[in-house]
Structure 1
Amino acid sequence: MPSTDSGLAAVRFTLDRTSPVPLYHQLAQQLEAAIERGVLAPGDRLGNEIDLSVRLGLSRPTVRQAIQSLVDKGLLVRRRGVGTQVVHSQVKRPLKLSSLYDDLEAAGQSPTTRVLRAESVPAPPDVAAALGVAEGGEVTVLERLRCTHGRPVAFLVNYVPTDLLRLNTEALESTGLYRMMRSAGITLHSARQSIGARCATAEEAALLQEREGAALLTMQRTAYDDTGRAVEYGTHIYRASRYAFDFQLLGRP
């Protein structure tokens, strides 16, 4: 992992002092864009605020405010004795039938998983309806915290039929649920999914290392195999500061 500020030297800043957009915000936007493009990679240092303010002809408070806004977003981190470093870019996940683990791995985000719960429970009404099982019938519930670069991105709650496949904590912490399904010969064919947003509760904020009331993205999904059987029902929450859904809209021909 890089440990110098050589990446910062490749960033070309363009600040418009006549613009109504505050200079700190312009600087923050351009730093964030450099992180998104990979010009600034995880581990790159920004140097100190004085050097950057001299280079750009900005006041030190302006530079400090820009950096703090990206620290608040989780893109930068301040470390004693090291300075300010790039942590990661925001995760942008395509809207397709894929697992978060696979998408993070493909994006070079080094995903890790902590299993908080994995047990058989009676199916609540909404889960029973989604999976097509009797209300109160046995299903397996999985609660997992998905992280990248050591920081949480999402809290995942999934329900699967108990007879679907053998699940264990070790496997769930080393790979994704959909990858386990594919390895078991299950072909994922389609899904119904809804996306929303809300504010984090105190418990969710503590779990995701956010502040209470922070914006969260929500997702509910029911996935089906190639026989039409519902094989998974998930309710997930994502840190909006670190995660976005990315999709393309096409007009009529």
Structure 2
Amino acid sequence: MRDAHPDVLARGSTLPGLVLDRTSRTPLHRQLAEQLKRAIECGQLAPGTVLSSEPRMAQETGLSRITVRHAIRSLTEQGLLVRRRGIGTHVAYDWTPHALDLAAVYEDLREAGRAPATEVLFCGTEPARPEVAAALALTEGSAVTVLERLQYAGGQCIGHLRNHLPYDLLRPELLSPHDGRLASVGLYGLMRAAGVFACTAQHAIGARAATPEECGLLDVPEGSALLTLTRTTLDQSGRPVEYGSHAYPPARRGFEFQLAVGSAAIPHA
């Protein structure tokens, strides 16, 4: 999906701008389902929107009816779509589109009486390493904006955060690391102010031993275990706009999940 305008679609429409890669290892039905799901999550397909019939969608996308049916069935089973005889398939009314508030940790910490603070270690550019380039859909070695910082709560360091962003979307000077706004609104507040809106995110949570550098930054003993969070954030057009790789001492920072029928778990981070 490459349409950057999340307009609500007319009755019986097929999502415009669908991009299906027939050379990809990802099955076509999954590609279709993922793009429809992203459109629902971003509000381009609003609750109650009636989709094209399966035959029409197959004709307009060049897919077989079986492929389209498989994709629709997947989203129906997730609770995102509802089928009604005589009406067709429409977006579920109990699905509420929303923009991700990935800066929610600031509000969470304030409500818990733990004043959040940020120490910027680095804000500049560097060539994209292989994993960063893959996450941001860039060519390896492309210039990316890098923000490295320590996150504090109540005076205690709770995490080491590294964020990579496409240079053409967010240059280092737009992050204003030294004027206080980063500490007050967080990275995603600054992204919104620059016109970059996070819509969906893919998270991976893991654990590993702290590196010697992290032991010094986080003031933890050598060999300590850390919780890790890697996140790729997408805007409403499906473009990756941020890749984060963060590490937290588990005794100081946990993850809270919000579960809703028909949606994925989204941890505050």
Q: State TM-score, norm by structure 2.
A: 0.54
The structure-2 alpha-carbon separation of the partners of 1:128 and 1:200, relative to structure 1 and needing over 3 Å to count, comes to same
Partner residue of 1:168?
A: 176
SS in 1 for 2:251: coil
8 Å contact 2:176–2:182 — kept in the other structure? yes
In the alignment, the residues of structure 2 paired with residue 184 and residue 114 of structure 1 have an alpha-carbon distance, to the nearest angstrom, of: 21
Which of the residues 126, 133, 145 maps onto 1:128? 133
After TM superposition, list the pairs within 5 Å mapping 1:151-162 onto structure 2.
151-162=156-167
Partner residue of 1:111?
A: 116
Cα offset, 1:173, TM superposition: 4.0
How many residue pairs were aligned? 157
Q: 1:98 aligned to 2:102?
A: yes
Which of the residues 177, 190, 203 maps onto 1:180? 190
In the alignment, the residues of structure 2 paired with residue 249 and residue 230 of structure 1 have an alpha-carbon distance, to the nearest angstrom, of: 23
8 Å contact 1:97–1:190 — kept in the other structure? no
Partner residue of 1:241?
A: 251
**One-letter amino acid of the structure 2 residue matched with residue 168 of structure 1:** S
8 Å contact 1:198–1:215 — kept in the other structure? yes
Which of the residues 196, 208, 216 maps onto 1:206? 216
Q: 1:224 aligned to 2:234?
A: yes
Q: Deviations over 1:84-129 (max 9, x none)?
A: xxxxxxxxxxxx7522434433443211101001111111111111
Gaps of 5+ in 2: 1-99, 263-269
SS in 2 for 1:244: coil
The structure-2 alpha-carbon separation of the partners of 1:187 and 1:106, relative to structure 1 and needing over 3 Å to count, comes to farther
Q: State TM-score, norm by structure 1.
A: 0.57
**Is the strand fraction higher in 1 or 2?**
1
Which of the residues 128, 144, 150 maps onto 2:149? 144
Percent of matched pairs sharing the same residue: 48
Cα offset, 1:247, TM superposition: 2.3
8 Å contact 2:122–2:148 — kept in the other structure? yes
In the alignment, the residues of structure 1 paired with residue 228 and residue 107 of structure 2 have an alpha-carbon distance, to the nearest angstrom, of: 19
In the alignment, the residues of structure 2 paired with residue 182 and residue 176 of structure 1 have an alpha-carbon distance, to the nearest angstrom, of: 10
